[in-house]
Amino acid sequence: MTTFARLLLFATAAGLLLGTPACSPPPPPPAETDPDPTPQEVPLPPATDRDPALQEEPPLPAEAQPDVPAPPVADEEDFPRDVTLNLVFLRGQQFPLPEGQRTPSLIFLSEDNQVHGFAGVNQLNGTYTLEDNRLTFGPLAMTRMAGSPEAMALEQRFSAALEEITAWRLDGTTLELLAGTTPMARFEPAPSQD
């Protein structure tokens, strides 16, 4: 027997005596096949456990949180319907009306929850949904006339603001349309044409 063979025999015998195999164990037998071959989803830990950079910042103490009042629950009966409402503020600021420009306005009709109005250059028509203080607009159709660049810009800002509306509130006769708690547009009844 060669020296190499003796060493190999010794290593094998030593492994058996110590309880450690001299070579890798055979692979485990194949598991029974599952009749449902759909792979099982393994839930991932929350992203914050995987990446500390994604952990949320702790909430501000109560005294440091901004005081943003939620819109009060409004009574649908108070919602101004069947009256022309002129736009007076857009996205929290008064807007300059170009010379000779007609004021953008809305009329919320009682019948079939239709809304009609003037957006700055074009007429608009559509529907609205009202529930307590929640207000949303359905798709709004507009005529396609062209106007001055200033009037077209105003119309674009106005129609974009209407798409964001989620709530309303009244302050006297002034209707304020909100996106969450953020004021987007303010309307006042048009002066009567006596």
Q: State the pLDDT at residue 41.
A: 45
The CATH number given to 83-95+102-187 is 2.40.128.270
Cβ atoms within 10 Å of 161's Cβ, excluding its own:
16
Segment 16-26 shows an average pLDDT of 50
Spatial distance between the Cα atoms of 114 and 137, rounded to a whole number of angstroms: 10
**pLDDT at res. 93:** 79
How do strand 167-171 and strand 174-179 relate by DSSP bridges?
A: antiparallel
Matching residue, tokens 């009256």: 83
Triad 127, 132, 135: Cα angle to 5°: 35
DSSP state of 132: T
Report the chain's mean pLDDT, rounded to a whole number.
76
Task: Determine the average pLDDT of the residues in 3-31.
Answer: 54
Note the pLDDT of residue 150: 87
Q: Is residue 135 very low, low, confident or very high in pLDDT (cuts 50, 70, 90)? A: very high
Per-residue pLDDT tens over the stretch 87-111 = 999 987 786 677 788 999 999 999 8
Cα distance between residue 35 and residue 42, in whole Å: 19
CB of 108 closer than 8 Å to CB of 128: yes
pLDDT on residue 59: 41
pLDDT in tens, 170-192: 999 999 999 999 999 999 999 88
pLDDT score, position 68: 46
At 29, is the pLDDT very low, low, confident or very high (cuts 50, 70, 90)? low
